[in-house]
Amino acid sequence: MLRIVLAEDAVLLRAGLTEILDRSGHRVVAAVGDAQALARAVEEHRPDVVITDVRMPPGFRDEGLRAALDLRARHERLPVLVLSQYVATAYATQLLGGDGRDKGGLGYVLKDRVGEVSEFLDTLRRVADGQTVIDPEVVRVLLAQQTAARPLSRLTPREREVLGLMAEGFTNQSIGTRLGVTEASVVKHAGNIFMKLDLDPAEGNRRVLAVLAHLRGGAG
């Protein structure tokens, strides 16, 4: 069971998420509607994970995102799952920026994923377990922006598939399952990707952050 602080200004969505989480065996210890209340709730309850919308009162711009960044600065290993209405790679870049060290679970997904309850709950579990999870649509946009650029253009179609799943935060074993290939085959593809993109062959969150840094143009 996870103890969760939920921040969502839309009353119906907040209630719906609370019901989904409660029925799944988790406990929403606080459900709030603005960024200031989110900060207070985290200090009071010290949850296992935070779920927050990007846009929150009073400005309905990026208050939730900024609150998440502040929480990560003050509680370095606090898992945070950020929900966004639209694909906004700038938000993802801001949230995932940093020095590449493993600082606990982090997720950035579209609100549409909530409708796929099992997928949403799996994402929450992965974030709570310390993994980095990025919405596949955000990864698709980042890949589309960089596909024509070197050295990404040197990747084979299969390597681009593996790269996309790596960016979403999947392990080699999970990637193999999704693509219907062996884990050894994924390891071989990953090795080729690291070599062609001049990336550090790290594991876990460091690998995800390195791949995302490259996709957003921040790596060699």
pLDDT tens profile 3-19: 999 999 999 999 999 99
Confidence of residue 93 (pLDDT cuts 50, 70, 90): low
In the DSSP assignment, the letter for residue 98 is S
Residue 220 lies in a domain: no
Last residue of a domain, one of 81, 104, 133: 133
Q: Which domain holds residue 61?
A: 3-133
pLDDT tens profile 164-216: 898 888 889 999 999 999 999 999 999 998 888 887 777 777 788 778 777 76
Confidence of residue 132 (pLDDT cuts 50, 70, 90): confident
Clarify whether residues 189 and 121 are in a common domain: no
CATH of the domain at 162: 1.10.10.10
At 220 the pLDDT is: 39
Phi, psi at 17, each rounded to 5°: -65, -40
Average pLDDT for residues 148-167, to the nearest whole number? 83
Nearest Cα residue to 154 out of 106, 198, 118, 210? 198
Which residues are within 8 A (CB) of 29 and not within 5 positions of it... i.e. 6 or more apart? 3, 4, 5, 41, 45, 47
Clarify whether residues 154 and 125 are in a common domain: no
Last residue of a domain, one of 133, 164, 197: 133
Go through the chain and tell me how many residues it has.
220
At 99 the pLDDT is: 46
- Average pLDDT taken over every residue of the chain: 85
Query: What span, in angstroms and rounded, lies between the C-alpha atoms of 88 and 92?
Result: 7
Last residue of a domain, one of 103, 133, 163: 133
Query: What span, in angstroms and rounded, lies between the C-alpha atoms of 215 and 5?
Result: 31
In the DSSP assignment, the letter for residue 153 is G
In the DSSP assignment, the letter for residue 4 is E
Clarify whether residues 121 and 188 are in a common domain: no
Which residues are within 8 A (CB) of 114 and not within 5 positions of it... i.e. 6 or more apart? 13, 16, 17, 20, 83, 120
Clarify whether residues 127 and 23 are in a common domain: yes
Average pLDDT for residues 120-148, to the nearest whole number? 85
Query: What span, in angstroms and rounded, lies between the C-alpha atoms of 158 and 140?
Result: 14
CATH of the domain at 57: 3.40.50.2300
Residue of higher predicted confidence among 25 and 55: 25
Count of domains observed in the chain: 2
